[in-house]
A and B are shown apart, each in its own frame.
Chain A
Amino acid sequence: MQRAGITEVTGKRAGAAIKFEGIHKRYGSSVAIERLDLDVQQGEFISLLGPSGSGKSTLLMMLAGFEQVSGGRILIDDCDVTLLPPERRGIGMVFQNYALFPHMTVAENIGFSLRQTRTSKAVIRDKVSKMLDLVQLSGFENRYPQQLSGGQQQRVAIARAVVFDPPVLLMDEPLSALDKQLREAMQLEIKSLHERLGITFIYVTHDQREALVMSDRVALLNDGKIEQIGSPRDLYDRPCSRFAASFIGEANFLGVEVVGAAAAGYYDVRMFDRTFTARGGDGSRRGPAQCVLRPEKIHLTAASDALDATGGQLEGTVTSALFLGESLRYSVEVDGCSLTVSQPHRSGTQTLAPGELARLHWAVDDFLLVV
């Protein structure tokens, strides 16, 4: 399974395409993953995002070979690996707690995979030192993992997982043990590592920001099924369901009644005894539904201000106003229904106090009809 790797560590390698075909996984009588199909492109950075228990880690473990599938096939570059043991899949993996070997030095940890294939000592030393360069840990080769900080251990784990030129790198919530600042710095580092290596990255996380920042595509998992898959922008701007809208970003949900189709892709919906236009998928829908309005897409002004009339608008009473530094956060009550509104904090922005009447205004494209 050892691939003909390109020896130059920083050179671009070919990533592998990965196909999950009708994967399902049961634990006893409970179903963890249900008939799941997923195509990962060559060299893509894809995140598996979802709450705990959504099956994202299970999916990763099945790809790595640590969990058996109950049904379906896994293909790496059109080669069926479903029944191969993990040591013969040639996949790099970074574990949640890094799983560095505590009895080996940094250099020994990184060189572990190379020692399994009778690589000569000189080649190992050479590759390990290139890897240490890549993750900026030169000079640390003789330390033990427990003598390193969390961020440094993280880098060793990554170096260890890519030193043998795997076509795919799997990461299972690798940043969850780090503090916020380090986590954000590592996100950018991992992203740039992906660009430099050119191999396929599959990244499991429950942190939506992490998924949005790093990925080419995000697969949102819920209850063992893919809820939605697409670019980070797609997922944020066009959530397909209430779950997707609430898991990624914040959302106000409004109960509406679909009364008819407007222009292609748009619908007339009724709420608060008025008719609004909402954007939705194709097909014709009727009856009760949910609309999503994200807090930062609402423009809030005093009710007395004049306003150009495109898009939707509602009037309500401010019930609370919180100053968060970079933004102001309002709760506005409209006809017994409370909406959250976020306004950027800029000089000149009008500040409304609780009790004041306010007008909420939004662009038609930001008012989304979901299932």
Chain B
Amino acid sequence: MALTKHSSRRRGRAVLRFDRTALLILPLIAFIALFYLTPVFSMLLRSLESGEGWSLSAFRAVLSDGAFWRVMQITMTISLITTVLCLLLGYPLAYFIARTRTSVANILLLLVLMPFWTSILVRTYAWMVLLGRRGVINDTLVNIGLLERPMQLLNTRTAVYIAMVHVLLPFVVLPLYATLKSFDWRLVDAAKGLGAGPFASFRQVTLPLSMPGVAAGAVLVFTLSIGFYITPALVGGPRDMMIAQLIETQVRGFNWNIAAAMAVVVLAAVLVICALFARIVALNPLMRR
């Protein structure tokens, strides 16, 4: 998201000058304006409402609320760790898929995409079945004698990470796969020919050149994580409340302006993080081209 902004701005100029096909994106712009910008704007208005006219009282209440900051911190921590886990697990997989034979690669890509065809709710329930006190994992471990009593798996932070990584993994694998698939592997040959061993050539050539894919995947996973609701609510414990749940409790209590103010703060935080990220990535000479 933050990545395409950078390049599309340059390309956009050329498109407007030379190409009337740019008109074809007008329907999409209209759609986004109607169904995305309008609600965001109305939310912004809500957050400024109070009993008697316009005020910043909702923001004041939210920003001075210790619970809000605690939940914000939990949300950021969970999102960051989920992102890192997804990258660590997804990079080797994407690398392997990009380098293996097409027939194998197609099967693996299918498997990566498979979770997308199941509803997130169903997948979360599946994890509840697996991780529960009398769930498949605990039962098996107790039966083969590794555990004396079932252990607490469900309603822990670990369960949140497992379930979220499971849901979000395709979002890093796909952009990374796309980057690595179009990667010029002769550069690795060149590096080896110049005396760099397998690890050195990965660190100095493959990894830096796949950073656009890493960045795209990381931004996707991170922003999606921040908005997670069902998964932490069902498999997490009481200490794993994420911001979406907090907003939901405000909505349920009809504190619309508080809920809206929270949403605005989160949106602003996400935008700032994406902007910082785009800046870091833009420093990469590859993206400056």
Contact = CB atoms under 8 A, between A and B. Distances in A.
Contacts of A116: 194-196, 200
A85 interface: yes
Nearest to A144: B285
Interface in A48-105: 64-66, 85-93, 95, 97, 99-105
23 contacts: A1-B195, A65-B193, A87-B192, A87-B194, A87-B201, A95-B190, A97-B184, A97-B186, A101-B187, A101-B191, A101-B209, A102-B286, A103-B209, A103-B284, A103-B285, A104-B285, A112-B196, A112-B204, A116-B196, A144-B285, A146-B289, A160-B194, A161-B193
Interface in B176-214: 184, 186-187, 189-197, 200-201, 204-205, 208-209
Interface string B268-289: 0000000000000000111001
A164 B191 CA distance: 13
B208 A103 contact: yes
Contacts of A91: 193
A207 B204 CA distance: 35
Contacts of B189: 64, 66, 86, 95, 99
A113 interface: yes
Nearest to B185: A99
B190 to A, nearest CB: 4
Interface residues of B, number: 22
Interface residues of A, number: 32
Contact of B209 (A86, A102, A164): A102
A112 B285 contact: no
Contacts of A95: 186, 189-190
Interface of A: 1-2, 64-66, 85-93, 95, 97, 99-105, 112-113, 116-117, 144, 146, 160-161, 164
A129 to B, nearest CB: 18
Contacts of A105: 285
Contacts of B187: 99, 101
B188 to A, nearest CB: 9
Instruction: Name the residue among A86, A90, A161 with the largest chain B CB count within 10 angstroms.
Output: A86
Given A1-B195, A99-B189, 7 more contacts: A99-B187, A101-B205, A102-B285, A103-B286, A104-B285, A112-B191, A164-B195
Instruction: Name the residue among B201, B204, B289 with the largest chain A CB count within 10 angstroms.
Output: B204
A1 B289 CA distance: 37
A86 B187 CA distance: 13
A87 B195 contact: yes
Nearest to A66: B189
A101 B190 CA distance: 9
A89 B192 CA distance: 10
Nearest to B211: A103
Nearest to A90: B195
A108 to B, nearest CB: 10
B185 to A, nearest CB: 10
A64 B193 contact: yes
A1 B191 CA distance: 16
A99 B184 contact: yes
A99 B187 CA distance: 5
Interface in B230-289: 284-286, 289
A97 B185 CA distance: 12
A249 B186 CA distance: 33
A64 B190 CA distance: 10
Nearest to B201: A87
Instruction: Name the residue among B190, B191, B194, B285 with the largest chain A CB count within 10 angstroms.
Output: B194
A161 B191 CA distance: 10
B205 A93 contact: no
B207 to A, nearest CB: 10
Contacts of A113: 194-195
Contact of A93 (B190, B197, B285): B190
A87 B197 contact: yes
Contacts of B196: 87, 112, 116
Contacts of A146: 289
Nearest to B193: A93
A161 B190 CA distance: 9
Nearest to A91: B193
Interface string B36-79: 00000000000000000000000000000000000000000000
B63 to A, nearest CB: 41
B208 to A, nearest CB: 5
Nearest to A146: B289
A100 to B, nearest CB: 8
B200 to A, nearest CB: 6
B285 to A, nearest CB: 6
A66 B284 CA distance: 29
